[in-house]
């Protein structure tokens, strides 16, 4: 059994395969289909997770960690305990994954070793690697980190449509992804993907918080701060989350929040709330348009539009999406749990790709009747000098390149008489400063015969195979010396096989 976890900014969802291999949700002990993505540090060695942590944070919000996901891939400290131990986002993820593992094992009665953890489409290599590391810390082997919109598409069974091109508009609490997928016969492929790492329902909440504080200041002539009034801000956060839910089903609602003796009563209209977030929704729509343009697609090429993620439940989001697409957003869409459900399917596909049996309750299930073809969500290249002697990223495989693919380019050495070269593999756009790109790995060619000229002699080949394994190889066409670096682009592993 290979479960799947949707490690969301606001909520974790978990799913497992049933006896037939079909995905089903795992409920928490409280009967909820999700685990709140909140960690509360109660005291020495005592950590509370989920809804209990959210409730405890009402009293001591400074001991709780929310919205950790946007900090993945950074060393920013989100909490320091009484012993001085610092917790970064990857540590918070590990704590939550360990709790998810316990819940799944408790509900299924089976041990959990391998797991699928969905990640945003725009995650870079470090963020994916930290996801794997967090899983290992939680006692899990992360078999796969599929892109969230791909999982959402699988969870909505778009792959069962024999001829369908669909847009998956995935606006979660913290991140926004947009993908175009296509089902053709037994092939399910991702055509293009895009998004923003810091755009989601949390930004809607922050915008509402700012507007409500403006009104509070107007009425009472002072503006509370989280440092001085943590309980007020925790209560305000809860009120805003309920406000968003209420305004998604009705046109107005009442809000009441107190700070010491000052009680703010405020009526909020849906159109008022929509005016607060209109530019944020506009950013998501603009990104959607650009993503289609990058793939040279028109809305007339799209058969279905799916809006998933909690942020997409805001009526304005669907309204703007329908206006720009000229199509109705699918009413049969599973918006909240599709990522976890689709992750189960992705895990089964991965087992088949690896040639491993897929077992559920000691029964080996047959191979899936379709296969998935993914794309690169980030451009990758090598560091090279431009005409001004500045080190830049020279693109080898562009964003949205189908997997598998290969590209060959020949480069000059930097100086006459040079006898060694260092090949740095970068995650970044063509022409970007090399220092601004993420280095995925490097290798060297040494003891090269010196030449007085600068003719092109270093032939570099980037090959990414169907297993998402990137091999970057280099050959000196003068001496024949070679070297290569292998990077599992989904997992972040690298292996240097330089031969000199």
For the chain, 500 residues long, give each residue's pLDDT as a single digit of tens: 999 999 999 999 999 999 999 999 999 999 999 999 999 999 888 999 999 999 898 888 889 999 999 999 999 999 999 999 999 999 999 999 999 999 999 999 999 999 999 999 988 878 888 999 999 999 999 999 999 999 999 999 999 988 999 999 999 999 999 999 999 999 999 999 999 989 999 999 999 999 999 999 999 999 999 888 988 998 899 899 999 999 999 999 999 999 999 999 999 999 999 999 999 999 999 999 999 998 899 999 999 999 999 999 999 999 999 999 999 999 888 999 999 999 999 999 999 988 999 999 889 999 999 999 999 888 999 999 998 999 999 999 999 898 889 999 999 999 999 999 999 999 999 999 999 998 999 999 999 999 888 888 999 999 987 656 789 999 999 999 999 998 765 544 555 544 33
d(CA 425, CA 442): 6
d(CA 291, CA 330): 20
The CA distances from residue 133 to 4, 94, 141, 145, in Å, are: 16, 8, 9, 12
* Same-domain status, 11 and 136: yes
Q: Could you tell me which residues come within 8 angstroms of residue 378 by beta carbon, excluding any fewer than 6 positions away?
A: 122, 124, 125, 399, 427, 428
Residue 296 lies in a domain: no
Q: Dihedral sign for Cα 116, 120, 124, 126, please.
A: negative
Q: What is the CATH number of the domain that holds 260?
A: 3.90.640.10
d(CA 150, CA 116): 13
DSSP assigned state of 492: T
* Same-domain status, 125 and 219: no
Region of 221 (left: φ > 0; alpha: ψ -120 to 50; beta: rest) is left
DSSP assigned state of 477: T
Q: Is 127 exposed, middle or buried (0-12, 13-18, 19+ CB in 10 A)?
A: buried
Domain closes at, from 142, 159, 185: 142
Please name which of 164, 404, 499, 475 lies closest in space to residue 306, comparing C-alpha atoms.
Answer: 164
d(CA 121, CA 172): 12
d(CA 144, CA 118): 8
DSSP assigned state of 416: T
Domain closes at, from 275, 307, 337: 275
Q: Please, what is the Cα angle at 494 between 491 and 498, to 5 degrees?
A: 160
* Same-domain status, 130 and 19: yes
Domain boundaries, position 63: 1-142
pTM score: 0.88
165: part of which helix (H) or strand (E)?
strand 163-171
d(CA 37, CA 66): 7
E-state strands within 236-370: 252-259, 262-269, 304-308, 358-360, 363-365
- The size of the chain, in residues, is 500
Residue 217 lies in a domain: yes
* Same-domain status, 394 and 491: yes
Please name which of 221, 309, 298 lies closest in space to residue 259, comparing C-alpha atoms.
Answer: 221
d(CA 381, CA 398): 8
pLDDT score of 61: 87
pLDDT score of 128: 85
Residue 311 lies in a domain: no
Domain closes at, from 231, 254, 275: 275
* Same-domain status, 127 and 215: no
pLDDT score of 466: 63
d(CA 147, CA 327): 25
Number of separate domains in the chain: 3
State the CB neighbour count (10 A cutoff) for residue 410: 12
* Same-domain status, 136 and 211: no
Q: Are 196 and 174 in contact (CB under 8 A)?
A: no
Residue 126 lies in a domain: yes
Q: Are 183 and 153 in contact (CB under 8 A)?
A: no
Residue 289 lies in a domain: no
Residue 336 lies in a domain: no
End-to-end, the C-alpha distance of the chain in Å comes to 44
d(CA 471, CA 487): 6
* Same-domain status, 137 and 2: yes
State the CB neighbour count (10 A cutoff) for residue 438: 16
d(CA 186, CA 162): 7
- Assigned token pair, 391: 């080190």
The 3-state DSSP class for residue 392 equals: strand
Residue 110 lies in a domain: yes
Residue 368 lies in a domain: no
* Same-domain status, 132 and 219: no
Q: Cα-flanking dihedrals φ and ψ of residue 182, to 5°?
A: -140, 130
* Same-domain status, 119 and 21: yes
* Same-domain status, 122 and 29: yes
Q: Are 453 and 416 in contact (CB under 8 A)?
A: yes
d(CA 242, CA 296): 40
* Same-domain status, 119 and 241: no
Please name which of 425, 397, 391 lies closest in space to residue 498, comparing C-alpha atoms.
Answer: 425
Q: Could you tell me which residues come within 8 angstroms of residue 450 by beta carbon, excluding any fewer than 6 positions away?
A: 417, 418, 419
Give the count of alpha carbons within 13 A of 334, CB side only.
18
Q: Are 325 and 299 in contact (CB under 8 A)?
A: yes
Q: Could you tell me which residues come within 8 angstroms of residue 305 by beta carbon, excluding any fewer than 6 positions away?
A: 166, 167, 169, 321, 322, 325, 327, 328, 329, 330
Q: What is the CATH number of the domain that holds 484?
A: 2.60.34.10
Please name which of 290, 304, 321, 117 lies closest in space to residue 195, comparing C-alpha atoms.
Answer: 290
Q: Are strands 469-476 and 456-464 parallel, antiparallel or unpaired?
A: antiparallel
* Same-domain status, 137 and 226: no
């Amino acid at each position: 059994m290979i479960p799947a976890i949707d490690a969301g900014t606001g909520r974790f969802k978990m799913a497992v395969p049933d006896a037939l291999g079909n995905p089903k949700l795992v409920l928490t002990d409280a009967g909820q289909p999700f685990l709140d993505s909140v960690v509360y540090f109660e005291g020495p060695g005592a950590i509370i997770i989920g809804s209990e942590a959210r409730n405890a944070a009402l009293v001591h919000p400074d001991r709780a960690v929310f919205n950790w996901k946007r900090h993945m891939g950074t060393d920013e400290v989100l909490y320091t305990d009484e012993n001085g131990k610092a917790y970064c986002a990857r540590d918070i993820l590990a704590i939550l994954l360990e709790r998810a593992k316990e819940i799944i094992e408790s509900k299924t009665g089976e041990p959990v070793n391998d797991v699928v953890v969905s990640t945003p489409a725009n995650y870079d290599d470090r963020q994916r690697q930290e996801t794997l590391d967090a899983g290992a810390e939680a006692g899990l082997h992360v078999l796969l980190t599929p892109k969230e919109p791909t999982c959402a598409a699988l969870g909505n069974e778009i792959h069962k449509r024999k001829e369908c091109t669909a847009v998956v508009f995935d606006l979660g609490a913290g991140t926004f992804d947009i993908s175009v997928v296509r089902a053709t016969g037994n092939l399910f492929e991702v055509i293009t993907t895009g998004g923003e790492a810091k755009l989601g329902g949390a930004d809607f909440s922050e915008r509402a918080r700012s507007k409500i504080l403006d009104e509070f200041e107007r009425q009472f002539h002072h503006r509370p701060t989280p440092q001085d009034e943590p309980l007020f801000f925790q209560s305000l956060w809860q009120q805003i989350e309920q406000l968003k839910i209420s305004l998604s089903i009705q046109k107005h609602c009442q809000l009441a929040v107190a700070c010491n003796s000052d009680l703010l009563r405020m009526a909020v209209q849906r159109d008022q709330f929509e005016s607060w977030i209109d530019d944020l929704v506009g950013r998501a729509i603009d990104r959607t348009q650009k993503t289609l343009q990058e793939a040279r697609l028109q809305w007339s090429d799209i058969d279905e539009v799916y809006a998933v993620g909690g942020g997409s439940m805001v009526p304005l989001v669907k309204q703007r999406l329908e206006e720009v697409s000229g199509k109705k957003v699918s009413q049969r869409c599973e918006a909240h749990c599709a990522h976890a459900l689709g992750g189960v399917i992705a895990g089964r596909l991965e087992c088949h790709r690896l040639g491993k049996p897929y077992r559920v309750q000691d029964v080996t299930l047959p191979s899936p009747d379709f296969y998935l073809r993914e794309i690169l969500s980030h451009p990758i290249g090598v560091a090279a000098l431009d005409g001004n002697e500045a080190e830049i990223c020279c693109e080898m495989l562009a964003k949205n390149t189908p997997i598998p693919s290969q590209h060959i380019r020949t480069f000059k050495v930097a100086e006459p008489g040079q006898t060694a070269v260092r090949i740095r593999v970068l995650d970044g756009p063509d022409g970007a400063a090399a220092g601004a790109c993420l280095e995925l790995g490097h290798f060297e060619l040494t003891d090269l015969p010196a030449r007085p000229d600068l003719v092109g002699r270093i032939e570099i080949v980037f090959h990414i195979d169907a297993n998402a394994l990137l091999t970057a190889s280099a050959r000196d066409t003068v001496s024949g010396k070679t070297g290569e670096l292998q990077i599992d682009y989904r997992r972040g592993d690298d292996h240097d096989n330089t031969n000199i």
